[in-house]
Amino acid sequence: MISMFSDLLSMANEQPDPQRLLFLFASTEATKKSRKRDDKKGTIEPTMVVDKLPDELTSFAELVKEADTINKEWDFVFIASLGGQNRQHPTSEEAEKYLNQMTDDVMTGTNISRYVVFDREENPIELLAS
C-alpha cells in the first residue's frame, strides 16, 4: 500500500509510458457510531474530479490547497493513474471516461480497492464496501 503521496508521484514518473493522475474528491458521512476506531461505517459521496499530469504537482499540501479553492467539502481523495501510449500523455478528454468510472465505483462501492485513498492529512485510508 502506498503510504505517501510523494511515493505515488515517484511511481507515476517511473512508468515507461507517461501517466495522467486521476483524482476524485469525496465527502463522508458516518452512519453507525462504533467504539472501535478502525470500524467506522458510513457513506461516501463524490464532490469533484480532476486530472493532472504528475509534474503539475509537487506535494499533497499543494493538491489540498488547490482542491480547497474549488470546494472544501471533501474528506477523502481517491487516486488512479492512466497510462499513455507511444510516449504521449493521455489527454484530459481520454481521462474523462475513467473519471466517470471512478465516480460510479465510489457511488456503488464497487472496485474501490483499486484506488489509492488519502484523507485530508495525507493518511492512507483502506475502505471496504459493505
Q: Which DSSP string do the residues of 36-51 spell out, in sequence order?
A: STT--EEEEEEEEEEE
- Structural domain contains residue 15: yes
- Structural domain contains residue 38: no
Buried/exposed code over 16-38 (b: 16+ C-beta within 10 A; e: otherwise): eebbbbbbbbbbbeeeeeeeeee
Domain region containing 54: 5-31+44-119
Distance between CA 3 and CA 85 in Å, rounded?
Answer: 28
- Say what the pLDDT of residue 39 is: 63
The stretch 24-41 carries a mean pLDDT of 74
pLDDT averaged over every residue in the chain: 90
Number of domains composing the chain: 1
The stretch 33-50 carries a mean pLDDT of 77
0.85 exceeded by the pTM? yes
Distance between CA 86 and CA 83 in Å, rounded?
Answer: 10
